[in-house]
Amino acid sequence: MLNFSFQNTTKILFGEGQIQAISQAIPKDAKVLVTYGGGSIKTNGVYDQITAALSEHTWFEFSGIEPNPSYETLMKALDPIREHGIDFLLAVGGGSVVDGTKFIAAAAVFEGDDPWDFVAKGQPITKALPLACVLTLPATGSESNIGAVVTRDGNKLPFSSPLVRPLFAVLDPAVTLSLSDRQISNGVVDAFIHTMEQYLTYSVNGKVQDRFAEGLLLTLIEEGPKALAVETKNDLAIRGNIMWAATMALNGLIGSGVPQDWSTHMIAHELTGAYGIDHARTLSIVLPAVMKVRKEAKREKLLQYAERIWGLTDGDEESRIQRAIELTEQFFTAMQVPTRLSHVDLGEAAIDGLIAKLTQHGMVKLGEQKAITPEISREILIAAL
Ligand SMILES: NC(=O)c1ccc[n+]([C@@H]2O[C@H](COP(=O)([O-])OP(=O)(O)OC[C@H]3O[C@@H](n4cnc5c(N)ncnc54)[C@H](O)[C@@H]3O)[C@@H](O)[C@H]2O)c1
């Protein structure tokens, strides 16, 4: 395997009732800003649990962080931070709220002209307010990683810094019971594709990473559909397995010491940026096409994936790979997400604009071998039609 250094400092507080643990986990003298989204936490009891847990803290709130959080919304949080001398951020929500809060944490103490510079221009983040989170939607892994994605004027861009890694993350599977089927699907598929981005590359004999990744993929394939089925959807053990799988899929562990792809994400971000399609639903469209177009470069891993995930050992290599891609698409369909651009009413006419945006965003050498040029991205989008 490749050399690596791995450190994940986020303390995980897993299990039912763990929200109350934030009363001890946040310093008593902190001035806390609780950040959240559109208010689902007010109807599912999470807000009340936060209020009870913070009864001895000084805290304020900032709401309205939307899915695919926007720069404009996030910048509004800087006023209450300055006004109240906030020195600790608690994100309560899904990946959008956690990502948005990471941006706020760095923007609040940014010393340059415009915080967008650390997103669009890669200006280094040298400080950030401490943050932690209560996760309400298992999907992104943002709760214990250093990444975030923010959108400005249709440009959806990632940034990362160890300084924005949450100090702790509460993972209570019970808070996911209020999720809609659509959000459950999105979360399972997002976690699945995070795993694939770090697994389906080329072999460096990283046996531990591969088998951890395969364990996550198998868990998501086994438990994902159960979280949608009427008889099992409220089963907390199923929710718990999905929640922990999603965290583990993108906390740095399975990606350490192995090549990583991320072309599916970079191409898919343009679909969200341009058309506002849910993150996971863009990934489920792009990944099968990446598997098809990059079949040769990924051959060895595709065969391993076919055998270990789908039990495919009969037939020639080509037919096993083909079948593994079909089964991946069938899994996505079972999870009720689209697998073609046509499923979201997009056709060939959209492709020029998406390629122009990718190029504008510097996404011109994507993939584990940096071999995916805009021309190959075009092939991928055509394969996804
Ligand atoms: N930081 C990372 O490593 C990383 C990785 C992948 C994706 N992302 C980004 O994360 C964002 C997507 O995050 P997400 O998939 O977690 O979804 P989300 O945070 O956008 O939430 C989706 C919807 O679910 C609702 N919701 C959340 N929890 C709920 C609950 N318990 N009950 C009812 N409704 C609830 C939200 O209000 C929202 O309307 C995208 O912007 C994506 O690009 C970040």
Q: Considering the chain, what is the average pLDDT of its residues?
A: 97
Residue 94 CA to ligand 1 center (angstroms) comes to: 4
**For ligand 1, is residue 197 a contact (CB within 6 Å)?**
no
Residue to mutate, 74, 239, 279, 286, ligand 1, most ligand atoms under 8 Å from C-beta = 279
Reported ipTM: the value is 0.99
Q: Confidence class of residue 112 from pLDDT cuts 50, 70 and 90? A: confident
20 Cβ below 6 A of ligand 1 = no
Assess whether the C-beta atom of 148 lies below 6 angstroms from ligand 1: yes
Distance CA 234, CA 69 (A): 29
Question: How confident is residue 39, by pLDDT bands cut at 50, 70 and 90?
Answer: confident
pLDDT, tens digit, for every residue of 264-281?
999 999 999 999 999 999
Contact predicate 74/36, CB 8 Å: no
pLDDT at 154 over 90: no
Is there an atom of ligand 1 within 6 Å of 135 CB? no
- Strand 147-152 to 155-160 pairing: antiparallel
> What are the boundaries of each domain within the chain?
11-174, 179-383
Using alpha carbons only, how large is the chain's radius of gyration in Å? 20
- Check if 143 has its Cβ closer than 6 Å to any atom of ligand 1: no
Pocket test for ligand 1, best of 19, 143, 183, 264 (most atoms within 8 A of CB): 183
Distance (Å) from CA 134 to ligand 1 centroid? 12
Bridge partners, residue 62, by sequence: 35
With bands split at pLDDT 50, 70 and 90, how would you rate the model's confidence at 143? very high
Q: How far is the CA of 285 from the centre of ligand 1 (A)?
A: 18
pLDDT number for residue 86 = 98
Read off the pLDDT of residues 280-306 as tens digits, 9 standing for 90 and up: 999 999 999 999 999 999 999 999 999
Task: Please state the CATH superfamily assignment of the domain spanning residues 179-383 in this structure.
Answer: Dehydroquinate synthase-like - alpha domain (1.20.1090.10)
Q: State whether the beta carbon of 144 lies less than 6 angstroms from ligand 1.
A: no
Which ligand 1 atom sits closest to the C-alpha of 183? 24
Q: Tell me: domain 11-174, CATH 3.40.50.300, correct?
A: no
Q: Which 8-state DSSP code applies to residue 124?
A: P
Q: Report CA(24)–ligand 1 centroid distance (Å).
A: 26
The dihedral of CA 340, 343, 347, 352: what is its sign? Answer: negative
* Nearest protein CA to atom 13 of ligand 1, as residue: 95
> What are the pLDDT digits (tens) for 209-259?
999 999 999 999 999 999 999 999 999 999 999 999 999 999 999 999 999
**Phi, psi dihedrals of residue 133, rounded to the nearest 5°:** -150, 155
Q: State if residue 176 touches ligand 1 by the CB under 6 angstroms criterion.
A: yes
Instruction: List, as one string, the DSSP characters of 244-295.
Output: HHHHHHTSSTTTTTS----HHHHHHHHHHHHH---HHHHHHHHHHHHHHHTT
DSSP 21-52: GHHHHS-TT-EEEEE-SSSHHHHSSHHHHHHH
**Adjacent-strand bridge partners of 171:** 14, 135
pLDDT of res. 160 = 95
Q: Is the CB of 145 under 6 A from ligand 1?
A: yes
Tell whether ligand 1 has an atom less than 6 A from the beta carbon of residue 250.
yes
Nearest CA to ligand 1 atom 35: 179
Pairing outcome for strands 131-135 and 147-152: unpaired
Q: How far is the CA of 96 from the centre of ligand 1 (A)?
A: 5
